[in-house]
Amino acid sequence: MEVTFVIIDDNKEIEEHPLLFTLEDKFKNVKFFSNPQEGLNFIKSNLEINLIVLLDIEFSKDDILDGHDLLKEIYSSSSLVPVILWSGINQANEEFSDFINNRAFGFLSKDCSIAEAMEIVDKAYLFLEKSIENSIEDWIIESPEDKDKPIYFSTEGDAYSLNDILSEVRNQTEIGKDFAQRLNALTIDLLLRGKEKL
């Protein structure tokens, strides 16, 4: 699975941070943004690909958005992107509200080691791998002939192929979210009625 790391931190020195180097060595695609707004724009226009975000919390006061706002914005545009907070300030103050309200994926202190950081990063990777949209993608890669088959019909009567659905889910559109929810319900229903065995 290909994944792109987005690192948003107003401190430009972070671009040369050994953790970023390590991510690049291991996952290739690493994008660094010292301007939070640009980072946010990148995320919003690239929801089609797998993203993992490392986010600083305290930005310089010139920036209109701070880490909390950014996290909220990211979460509201997609709940599928794991966002790891990476900050020098005391974690206890941050954790709770953000973890609960905006589903931060994890918290890294600025003084943590690469090994400690990679533990959370790997978890985020696993989280993506296991998600619905990646299962769909895997399916398409394995059976390309299914790609354009219509599999889902909206109440308006529009038909969606597997490929369309993948894009809808990643972009977290109403159709996409609805589909994911129904898919889960369907699976449970099938399991309960003994129609299918996992």
Partner 1 sequence: MSLKKEKSIKFNFDVSAYRLIGRELITDRITALFELVKNAYDANAENVTVEFIDINPLTPNSKIIIKDDGIGMQFSDIKNKWMVIGTSSKRRERLSPLPHKRKVAGKKGIGRFAVDKLGDKLVLKTQKKNSSDILCLETDWSYYSKLEDSQLKLNFEDDKPFFTDVENKYWYDIGENEKQGTTLEISQVNEIWTENDISRAFKELSKLVPPNSSISSKYPFNITIKSPYTEFDDIKVKTQLIDFATKKIELTFDKKNKIQEILQYKKGSLSKINVPVRPCGFLKLTLYYFDQPAKSKYKKHFNSEIDGIKIYRDGIITTPFAEYVADQNKQKDILGIDKRRWSGFFDRFGTRDLLGYVEITDENNPEIIESTNRQGFVENEAWEELRKFIIEQIVQLESYFKNVKKVERENTKSSLGAANQDLKTLKKEIASVKKEASPKVQAKLRSIEANLGKIQGSVTKSIKDYSKLEKESKQQENLFMSLVSLQTYAAMFSHMTKHTLGHILTGAEYFYNNYPNPKLEDRFISISKSIYKEMLKLRKGVDFMLKYAKSDTELEEINLKELILNLFDNIYYDRLNEQGIKTIVEIKDNLILNYNRKAIEDIFDNLISNSIKALKDNKEKIIKCSSLTSKNEVTILFSDNGIGIKEKDKHRIFDIFFTDTAEEGGAGMGLYMVKTRVEAMQGSIEVVDNEFKPTGATFNITLPFKK
Out of 1, 18, 41, 126, the only residue in the binding site for partner 1 (CB under 8 A) is: 18
As measured in angstroms, the least distance from the Cβ of 121 to partner 1 is: 13
Q: d(Cα 195, Cα 121) in Å, to the nearest integer?
A: 37
- Whole-angstrom distance, CA of residue 179 vs CA of residue 170: 11
Task: Count residues near partner 1 (CB under 8 A).
Answer: 23
Pairing of strands 159-161, 150-153: antiparallel
Q: How many residues does the chain have?
A: 198
The two beta strands, 51-55 and 159-161, are unpaired
Query: Is residue 62 part of the contact set for partner 1 (CB under 8 A)?
Result: yes
31 or 110: whose CB is closer to partner 1?
110
Could you say which residues in the range 114-153 bind partner 1, by CB under 8 A?
114-115, 117
Q: What is the greatest pairwise CA distance in the chain? A: 59
Torsion sign (Cα): 30, 31, 34, 37: negative
Q: Does 11 bind partner 1 (CB under 8 A)?
A: yes
Instruction: Tell me whether residue 19 or residue 51 sits nearer to partner 1 (CB atom).
Output: 19
Backbone angles phi, psi at 189, to 5 degrees: -60, -45
Cβ proximity to partner 1: between 10 and 168 the closer is 10
Contact status: 16 vs partner 1 (CB under 8 A): yes
Distance CA 48, CA 62 (A): 31
Smallest distance, partner 1 to C-beta of residue 139, A = 36
Contact predicate 140/146, CB 8 Å: yes
Nearer to partner 1, 46 or 109 (CB): 109
Among 4, 31, 89, 99, binds partner 1 (CB under 8 A): 89
For partner 1, which is the closer residue by CB, 22 or 78? 22
Binding residues (CB under 8 A) for partner 1: these are 10-11, 13, 16-19, 21-22, 25, 60-62, 88-89, 109-115, 117
